């Protein structure tokens, strides 16, 4: 017979190890679904398209991917005019989209915040496009702006008494891209509006009342109190708009198919075209990776711009 | 104090008018589709075209239900894909969110940061490998073929929201239950889940909004009418009928968004609060 105290301790130790074991098994069970989905549908695709981007691989023509290292990337920037056009269009699109969405939702949020009644109704109206699929937004705007029966052209025709006015907004090089920006912003404004409204609600009423008692005008209130307090929310909505500015594939595909000419080719659309029409998986993956790189750079830059204020708020 | 409140009232009226104008312009596209959907085709496409309808008809709606190939199938597919995506995301995110939010383990923070970094990856990066993978596994033109990637794309958001909710629960609650001899799964299910209910609502809304609208994956992965969802299906209908059938296409658009609009109105408080909470955590 051993020492009773030490055997008791042993028993406890055994129990503790057993408990720890079940706890560890439980932990694995809890993490399993996440692990499976992330590895199979996120990590593997990222690695695999990374691999493809270093190769020359035309599906159905090349029997296997041929490793060419960075040559594909260099080609995209030096001898691929369609890529450069897509990149340029994407940047123009993103800056217009950013400006319109950001300003419009900020102004609307500030105005709605001052209302004493009807707030809910207005919010519902502006949030509504969020639940309408982007492709259907595309059909809607293409219909509104269509050359003969489109609402916009009928109005212009009636106002100018010019019966022959049949401007094809989405097929004219000058207006096609801005037309897509407007359709995209129409859908997005509600999203950022929610963020700004939430931010405005967080500003203490006493702060503004004090300013008002001191004789501040509404403009001064906006610049001195509202805008500085909204900075962290501006960062969040900026990042949201930025990441979203890539997601115009639906609109391009539904409204213009990249046209007129190549005027509305953008990064997603070009990568998709390369992969699923030309079957060039190597080139398509290079475009996809360059897109990810650009987004990464912009996110870091935005974080830097808004950093001091966000840190202050903890 | 009186002067202060007076100023409020005056400005408020001007603001109201400005917003009203904005709101009317804003809602107009939907209104115009609605008007188009109740006009006969001959009225929509006559020349010179007019804005005010000469006649109203429900013919387009009847056609969508009886004569239009595919619409009800698209609708069913959208409902099935969205429902399963939401349910799987909820289960997986609740499990993972609990592990990340309440369990201490080596690499917890690092792993979670890694999952968060997924949120900035453009979806186009996944599309080609997922298509090849599903093609080889014969998952194209099936429900699973859409549900699985949709779950993966929404899971990081769900985890972010769920972890946030679980990490606000005091660890004492868990320890007390464990000391009482409660099995960990039962403890999570019976004690913790009711506490994080709001996070479920947020996750549901974010996932629902995504799955109901997704176009790029659906149009690439599915080629057959039988498996297609609404956002792509209606575009196919339009391409098939061409522009001279805008009345019918408009009716299909209205029918596809009205049920969601009703849900949106019914739950708008959850919707708005859920979305703002979810987005601000990102």
Q: Would you list the DSSP string of chain B?
A: -HHHHHHHHHHHHHHHHHHHHHHHHHHHHHHHHHHHHTS-HHHHT-SS--SS-S---SHHHHHHHHTSSSHHHHHHHHHHHHHHHHHHHHHHHHHHHHHHHH---TTHHHHHHHHHHGGGS-THHHHHHHHHHHHHTT-TTSHHHHHHHHHHHHHHHHHHHHHHHHTTS-HHHHHHHHHTT--HHHIIIIIIHHHTHHHHHHHHHHHHHHHHH--HHHHHH--SGGG--HHHHHHHHHHHH-GGGHHHHHHHHHHHHHHHHHHHHHTHHHHHHHHHHHHHH-
Tell whether B144 and B168 lie within a shared domain. yes
Q: Are residues B120 and B159 in the same domain?
A: yes
B39 vs A contacts (CB less than 8 Å) = none
Cβ A58 vs Cβ B117: under 8 Å: no
Structure-block tokens of residue A169: 């907004």
Tokens of A170: 């989405």
Same domain, B86 and B215: yes
pLDDT of residue A285 exceeding 60: yes
Beta-ladder partners of A67: A55
Q: How confident is the model at residue B13 (pLDDT cuts 50, 70, 90)?
A: confident
Q: Smallest Cβ distance to A30: which of B11, B95, B230?
A: B95
A134 interfaces chain B, CB cutoff of 8 Å: yes
Q: Which residues from A are below 8 Å from B133, CB to CB?
A: 44-45
Query: Could you tell me the sign of the dihedral formed by the alpha carbons of B49, B52, B55, B56, in that order?
Result: positive
Q: 3-class DSSP state for residue A132? A: coil
Q: Which of B36, B62, B88 is the last residue of a domain?
A: B62
Cβ pair B120:A243 closer than 8 A? yes
Whether residue B175 is found in the same domain as residue B46: no
Question: Could you give the CA distance from residue A59 to residue A277 in angstroms, rounded to a whole number?
Answer: 10
User: Residue A312 — pLDDT band, cuts 50, 70, 90?
Assistant: very low
Contact B16, A115 (CB under 8 A): yes
> Which is it for the CA torsion B220, B221, B224, B228, positive or negative?
negative
CA B257/CA B195 separation, integer angstroms:
33
Residue A232 confidence class, pLDDT cut points 50, 70, 90: confident
Segment 215-274 of chain A within 8 Å of chain B by CB: 218, 233, 236, 239-240, 243, 246-247, 249-250, 253-254, 267-268, 271-272
- Same-domain check for residues B158 and B236: yes
Is A260:A173 a contact under the CB 8 Å cutoff?
A: yes
User: Least CA distance to A122: which residue of chain B?
Assistant: B23
Q: Which of B14, B16, B264 is nearest to A117 (CA)?
A: B16
Looking at beta carbons, which residues of chain A come within 8 Å of B135? none
CA distance B159 to chain A (A): 9
Residues B180 and B232 in one domain: yes
CATH assignment of the domain containing B88? 1.10.3720.10
B29, B78: one domain = no
Summarised one tens digit per residue, pLDDT across range B174-186 is 878 777 777 888 8
Q: Which of A40, A104, A143, A276 to mutate to test the interface with B (most CBs of B within 10 A)?
A: A143
Residues 175-214 of A with CB under 8 A from B: 186, 189, 191, 194-195, 197-198, 209, 212-213
- ipTM, 2 dp: 0.91
Instruction: Note the pTM of the prediction, 2 decimals.
Output: 0.91
Residue corresponding to tokens 């891209």: A177
In this predicted model, which residue has the larger pLDDT, A7 or A146? A146
**What proportion of chain B, given as a percentage, has pLDDT over 70?**
95
Same domain, B85 and B58: no
Last residue of a domain, one of B62, B81, B111: B62
Do B120 and B223 fall within a single domain? yes
- Domain enclosing residue B235, as ranges: 70-281
Which chain A residues contact residue B261 at CB under 8 A? 128, 131
Whether the per-residue pLDDT at A100 is higher than 90: the answer is: yes
Q: Report the residue of A24, A29, A37 to disrupt the B interface, i.e. the one with the largest count of B CBs within 10 Å.
A: A37
Total structural domains within chain B: 2
Å from A262 to nearest chain B CA?
Answer: 20
Q: Are residues B126 and B29 in the same domain?
A: no
Terminal Cα-to-Cα distance of chain A (whole angstroms): 61
Q: Are residues B99 and B33 both part of a single domain? A: no
C-alpha B208/C-alpha B215 separation (Å) is: 14
pLDDT in tens, B171-221: 888 878 777 777 888 888 888 999 998 899 889 988 998 999 999 999 999
Judge if B136 and B85 occupy the same domain. Answer: yes
pLDDT (0 to 100) of residue B282: 42
The CATH H-level superfamily of A76-313 is MetI-like (1.10.3720.10)
For residue range A152-168, list pLDDT tens digits in order: 999 998 899 888 888 89
């Amino acid at each position: 017979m051993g020492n009773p105290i030490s055997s008791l301790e042993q028993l406890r130790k055994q129990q503790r190890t057993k408990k720890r074991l079940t706890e560890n098994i439980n932990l694995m069970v809890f993490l399993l679904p996440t692990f499976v989905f992330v590895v199979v549908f996120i990590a593997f695709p990222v690695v695999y398209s990374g691999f493809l981007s270093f190769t020359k691989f035309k599906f159905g023509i090349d029997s296997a991917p041929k490793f060419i290292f960075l040559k594909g990337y260099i080609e995209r920037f030096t001898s691929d005019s369609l890529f450069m056009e897509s990149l340029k269009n994407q940047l123009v699109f993103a800056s217009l989209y950013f400006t319109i969405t950001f300003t419009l939702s900020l102004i609307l949020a500030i105005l709605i915040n001052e209302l004493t009644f009807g707030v809910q109704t207005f919010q519902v109206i502006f949030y509504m496009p969020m639940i309408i699929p982007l492709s259907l937004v595309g059909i809607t705007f293409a219909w509104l702006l269509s050359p003969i029966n489109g609402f916009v052209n009928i109005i212009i025709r009636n106002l100018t008494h010019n019966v022959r006015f049949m401007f094809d907004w989405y097929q004219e090089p000058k207006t096609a891209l801005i037309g897509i920006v407007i359709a995209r912003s129409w859908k997005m404004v509600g999203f950022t509006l929610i963020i700004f409204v939430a931010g405005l609600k967080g500003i203490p009423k006493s702060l503004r009342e004090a300013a008002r008692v001191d004789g501040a005008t509404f403009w001064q209130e906006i610049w001195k109190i509202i805008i500085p307090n909204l900075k962290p929310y501006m960062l969040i909505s900026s990042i949201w708009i930025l990441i979203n500015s890539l997601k115009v594939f639906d609109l391009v595909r539904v409204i213009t198919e990249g046209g007129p000419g190549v005027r509305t080719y953008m990064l997603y659309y070009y990568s998709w075209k390369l992969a699923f029409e030309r079957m060039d998986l190597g080139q398509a993956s290079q475009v996809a990776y360059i897109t990810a790189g650009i987004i990464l750079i912009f996110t870091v830059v935005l974080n830097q711009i808004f950093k001091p204020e966000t840190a202050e708020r903890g | 104090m009186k002067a202060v409140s007076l100023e409020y009232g005056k400005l408020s009226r001007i603001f109201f008018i400005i917003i009203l104008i904005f709101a009317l312009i804003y809602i107009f596209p939907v209104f115009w589709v609605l008007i188009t959907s109740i006009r006969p085709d001959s009225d929509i496409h006559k020349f010179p075209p007019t804005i005010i309808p000469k006649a109203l008809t429900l013919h387009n709606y009847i056609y969508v239900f009886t004569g239009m190939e595919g619409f009800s199938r698209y609708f069913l597919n959208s409902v099935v894909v969205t429902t399963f995506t939401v349910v799987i995301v909820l289960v997986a995110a609740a499990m993972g969110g609990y592990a990340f939010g309440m369990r201490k383990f080596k690499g917890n923070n690092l792993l979670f940061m890694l999952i968060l970094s997924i949120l900035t990856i453009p979806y186009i990066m996944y599309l080609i490998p997922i298509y090849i993978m599903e093609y080889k596994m014969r998952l194209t033109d099936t429900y699973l073929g859409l549900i699985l990637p949709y779950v993966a794309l929404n899971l990081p958001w769900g985890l972010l929201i769920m972890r946030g909710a679980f990490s606000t629960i005091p660890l004492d609650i868990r320890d007390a239950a464990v000391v009482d001899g409660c099995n960990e799964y039962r403890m999570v299910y019976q004690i913790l889940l009711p506490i994080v209910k709001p996070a479920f609502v947020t996750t549901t809304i974010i996932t629902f909004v995504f799955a109901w609208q997704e176009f790029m994956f659906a149009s690439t992965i599915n080629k057959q009418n039988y498996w297609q969802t609404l956002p792509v299906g209606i575009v196919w209908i339009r391409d098939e009928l061409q522009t001279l059938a805008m009345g019918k296409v408009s009716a299909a658009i209205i029918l596809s968004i009205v049920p969601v609009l009703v849900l949106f109105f019914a739950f708008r408080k959850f919707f708005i609060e859920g979305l703002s909470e979810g987005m601000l955590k990102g």
